[in-house]
Structure 1
Amino acid sequence: MSKFFYGIEDLFVNHLFAPYDFFRFTHSWWGANSINWIFFVIGFIAMIYWMKQLKIFNDNGEEDKTISSHSYL
């Protein structure tokens, strides 16, 4: 069973996260964190879009806001 977990470790450390090793050795903070900032901007744009969609449905009155809207409540 330990070989299974060592295989998962090898997959992530040596293969999937290998491109991040390039950013580890850059000497600027902005260079090392550029991927994180790109993901942050994409996530922020997605959140704004999601909030706008929720507002559209809320303004149309399409959402069921009763307390017993689900059978398990």
Structure 2
Amino acid sequence: MQRIYHSFTDRANPAEASSAAELGNKHVVDAFDEFASNWKIHRKDLAEQSYDTVDSELAAALRRQDAKAKQGKGTK
């Protein structure tokens, strides 16, 4: 996840050094190529939104697990 995040935030076009196999398919690569001219403007917002979403989802999952553990249901 960290490698993907840095690819999105450090490169002008994150698809630049990635293959279709790494990104899922050729259509994704083509979309990034089209988007590259505006990437510098949009990449920070996209990375932050994605990071915030993942962070929130992970925190919620940990809270649910903690609640289960407190109820004696363990980690299974």
TM-score, length basis structure 2: 0.51
Any idea what SS the aligned residue of 2:48 has? helix
Other-structure match for 1:46: 57
Q: Which amino acid aligns with 2:48?
A: W
- The alignment-based identity, stated in percent, is 9
Shift of 1:19: 2.6
- Uncovered stretches (5+) of structure 2, i.e. residues with no partner: 1-19
- Contact in 2 for aligned 1:23/1:31 (Cα 8 Å): no
* RMSD (Å) for aligned C-alpha atoms: 3.0
Alignment of 1:3-42 (within 5 A): 12=25, 14-26=26-38, 29-42=40-53
Larger Rg: 1
Any idea what SS the aligned residue of 2:38 has? coil
**Is residue 56 of structure 1 aligned with residue 64 of structure 2?**
no
Other-structure match for 1:71: none
Q: Which amino acid aligns with 1:21?
A: D
In structure 2, the CA distance between the partners of 1:35 and 1:21, relative to structure 1 (3 Å rule), is farther
Alignment length, in residue pairs? 55
- Contact in 2 for aligned 1:24/1:32 (Cα 8 Å): no
